[in-house]
Every structure is written in C-alpha cells, then in structure tokens.
Amino acid sequence: MKVVKKLHQCPVCEKAFPTNYKLMRHNSIHTGKKPYHCPECLKSFIDKSSLRIHQRVHTGEKPYQCSVCLKGFIDKSSLKKHQRMHTGEKPFQCSVCHKDFRHRGHLNSHMLLHTGEKPYHCSVCLEDFTEKSSLNKHQRIHTGEKLYECSVCLKDFSNKSSLRIHQRIHTGEKPYQCSVCLKDFIDKSSLKQHQRVHTGEKPFQCPVCQKDFRQTGHLNSHMRLHTGEKPYQCSVCSKLFSVKCALVKHMRYHTGEKPYQCSVCLKDFIDKSSLKQHQTVHTGEKPYHCSVCLKNFTVRSSLKKHQRIHTREKPYQCSVCMEQFLLKCSLEKHIKTHTEEKTNQCPECQKVFSSDIVLLKHMTLHKEHKPYRCSKCQKGFSLEKSLVKHLKSHTGETQYKCSEYREGFPRQANIILHQKIHEAEKPHNCSLCSQSFSQKLQFENHMRGHNTEEQYQCSRCLESFSHITHLVNHMITHV
C-alpha cells in the first residue's frame, strides 16, 4: 500500500496536505477569499474547478452517468457517492456507536448527536441546528420563501425533498412497503408511523395526563384539550377549532362541498367517516359488538354510548343542579330548563319541558285520548313507540338477553332491572328504617309509607294523592 506523505501544513490549524495546491485551497477557508464568480448567479468559489462544476447547474450538463440506473451527475464525486446506493458500501463509521454511513457529511452530522453540538443558529428565533441545510430550510419559515414548484399542480415548497415526496401523489409511486401487511407509502416517515400500528409503540406521552400517542401531531392536538387553545378560525362564522382537519370539514358546511360519494346509491358526504358509516346500510355490517349483551352497532361511538347502560357511567353533568346524564344531547336539553323561559310548561302539573314536542307527548298522560290501539287485545296507548313495545308481549319477541341465564326481555329497562338481581345491588337506602331497594321507584313508594302527607294534588278540584299514577287516573274523570 502506497503511503502519501503530508508535507504541506496549514499555519493556522496545523492540518497537513499532500500538495501545495490543496493547502492553498484550504487556506481560503481561513481567509474567506473566493476569487472566482459565476456570471449567471454571482455565486463565488475558491478555485476555478469548483466554478466550472457549478456552471453545469445552469447549462444542465451531466457528463458522469451511473452504469446501473443511467442517472447523470455534474461531477465525479457525486457519481461515486451515488454508486454506493447500488453496492451497499458504507465506508464511514461512527467511532462511538459504530453506525455506518455512505457519506462523510452524514457521519459528521451524526457525530453531533453524541457531542450535543448545534453550531448553526437562526438569527430570528435563536433556534439551533446540527446541519446548515436544516437551518436553511428553517429560515424559509420566517421568509416565506418557496423555491420549488410542482410542474403538475403548481404548488410551492420550501425544500426539494418535500417537492419530490409531493410529486409521488401525481405519479402514484409508493416506494416504501410495510413488511407486515404489505401496505405501500410515499415516504419513509409515513411508513415508520404506520409500523407503530403493528408494534403498538406509542413514543409520545402527554406530560399532563400521561396518555400515549403514536404520532407527535396527535400529541400536539391532544395538548390543546388541556390548554384550551383553538388556533384555527372559520373565516365565515368565526368558529374556532383545535385541529386543522376539523376546520376543513367545517368549511364544507358553508361551501356545500361533499367530496365523498357512495358507489352504490351515489349519495355524497362531507367526510370519509360519514361515507364509511353510510356504506354499512348497504352491506348490513355491524362490526362493533357489546361484550355484555352481544348487541351489534355500525359505528364505534354508538357502542360507546350503549356501554354506559351497563357501566351506569354518566359523564355529562349539569353545572347548575349537578344532575348527570348518559348523553351530551340529554344534558343540552336539560340545561334549557335552567336558562330558557318556562314556555313549554304543562298546564296540569306545571312540569317544564325542553321543547313543545316533548310537552305534547307528556300532555297525553293527562288525557284519555289514546290513538294507538293493539290489534290483539285492544289496549290503547298515547304514543306509537309504547304500542310497538307492547306488541312484543304478544309475539314473545325478546330483544334483550340476560348474560347470566340468557333469559329474554322485551324492553331494555326490564333487563337493567333484572340484572340487579344477579348483582345483588340495592343502591337506594331508606334513612328511616335501613331498608334497601334495587329500583328507585320502589324506594320512592316506600318513602311515602313513612310520609303520610299526600304530595300530588289535582289542579281542578284540589284533591290530593300519594302516588302520581293515582292522580293521573283521577284527572281522567275531569276530561
């Protein structure tokens, strides 16, 4: 092996070089002297050969070609670096962790991870960077400069790599494939994020509630729940949103845009999730199953609401009277009874309702009029849904099954009451005699036994009753 003697030494940094020419070229780093200028862009260079190579950027000349993929390059060193992609050669190794690299520059950048050094500083926001190229990309955020334009859709980008990835949308190229499910992706970062679905990895944690996330973007969106920040505002109605996708979806209500179409009935939808939910109408698919009663649902949110029946969770609480509700819509209706005028009040019992429709349904309790009659036993009902439930007693249909003995019940309320027998739960306790009850209605009837005062009074004749059912039956005599 031939040993090259390095006889020419720099007097400033004492670095040695094999030739005087290379030493002189190196000295320009210390002096800052760049005597050769490009007539096209006025960029300066330390020597004539560097200027000559640079000018090929303007002429488009690429005299060096890869023998494998025929890609052209402006200089020999670029071709040599490129050929390592085909040979797999990585001649530069980190002395700390022994990781190998194709290019010396990549190794130098990697070494900064071990030293913690960030030698490049943004003059605007003072953020530090390990590489000059990263600083250049970052500074375009402040200047708004976007040098790279897509030739298809004319969209602008601040860096070349972002443009290259974007162009794959038009070409359909997806060079990165998941080794588990074989799904393809347009860039490496998308593949890396996807692979966490298979590994279960959630490397990003909320510092407030310790919830874990697969992507840093999901964590950032979640953090706004704690801070209350809503940086995205609708330009039409000024409504604020915590995430950009929610604003994009909301804007479609103003524009009327419905970009997602059902392939079966051609109905249009605002977002992909609404289309997916609609398609279950055609397929009959109900992929979400309740583990307690085995009931199936088309969407996850419906299953989640249903499960609260079994867990008795009531996550929505009224801030005025502290009453709790299973559903948000139920809370919103209830709040109206505190905030709105009592315009929907029953003239018979003075009970207030959230809407005139609910009031009209309630009024049928005070009247004898029962327009819905059972064809089997001629029993009358004030509401159609009450008749539908009653008909199940004739057909023997039992929609709700007990998970213990598989006993069937026609109504959901019946099975909830029945399950308390297995649970031996009696949450309603009498403070006078210590007797316990599984149902609230039983407890209230029991308490009236201690209280001799008759609480329900007829508004017509002022006669009083201990039970509301007795009062309702009495009201019929006035009709």
Q: Do 143 and 124 meet the contact criterion of CB atoms below 8 Å apart?
A: no
At residue 1 the predicted structure's pLDDT band, cuts being 50, 70 and 90, is very low
Q: Answer whether residue 249 is part of any domain.
A: yes
According to DSSP, the β-strands at 288-289 and 212-213 are: unpaired
| 270 in a structural domain | yes
Residues sharing a CB contact under 8 Å with residue 273, sequence separation 6 or more, in sequence order: none
Q: Is the C-alpha dihedral spanning 116, 122, 123, 127 positive or negative? A: negative
Q: Is the pLDDT of residue 473 over 70?
A: no
- Please give the backbone phi and psi of residue 165, each rounded to the nearest 5 degrees, phi first: -65, -40
In a domain, 269, yes or no: yes
Q: Is the pLDDT of residue 451 over 80?
A: no
Closest CA to 172 of 154, 189, 185, 190: 185
- The full 3-state SS of 73-133, as one line of letters, equals ECCHHHHHHHHHHHHCCCCEECCCCCCEECCHHHHHHHHHHHHCCCCEECCCCCCEECCHH
Residue 407 has pLDDT above 70, yes or no: no
Query: Would residue 78 count as lying in a domain?
Result: no
pLDDT tens string 198-255: 998 998 899 988 889 988 888 888 888 888 888 889 998 888 888 888 898 899 888 8
267 is a domain residue: yes
Predicted local distance difference test score (pLDDT) of residue 194: 92
Q: Which has the minimum average pLDDT: 115-124, 292-301, 376-385, 453-462?
A: 453-462
User: Residue 330: what residue type?
Assistant: S
Concatenating the DSSP letter of every residue in 291-332 gives TTT--EESSHHHHHHHHHHHH----EE-TTT--EESSHHHHH
Query: Does 221 fall in a domain?
Result: yes
The pLDDT > 70 percentage for the chain reads 80
- Tell me whether residue 225 is in a domain: yes
- Pick 120 or 466 by higher pLDDT: 120
Give pLDDT, residue 65: 92
CATH number of the domain residue 275 falls in: 3.30.160.60
pLDDT digits 0-9 by tens, 101-142: 988 888 888 888 888 888 888 888 888 888 888 888 888 888
Lowest mean pLDDT among 64-78, 168-182, 307-321: 307-321
Residue 415's nearest CA partner among 311, 309, 325 is 309
User: Between β-strands 324-325 and 232-233, what pairing exists: parallel, antiparallel or unpaired?
Assistant: unpaired
Spatial separation of the C-alpha atoms in residues 298 and 423, rounded to whole Å: 30
Which structural domain range is residue 259 located in?
A: 204-285
**Residue range 81-112, pLDDT digits in tens:** 889 888 989 999 999 899 999 888 888 888 88
Q: How many domains does the chain have?
A: 1
240 lies in some domain? yes
Check residue 147 and give its pLDDT.
80
Beta strand pairing call for 288-289 and 372-373: unpaired
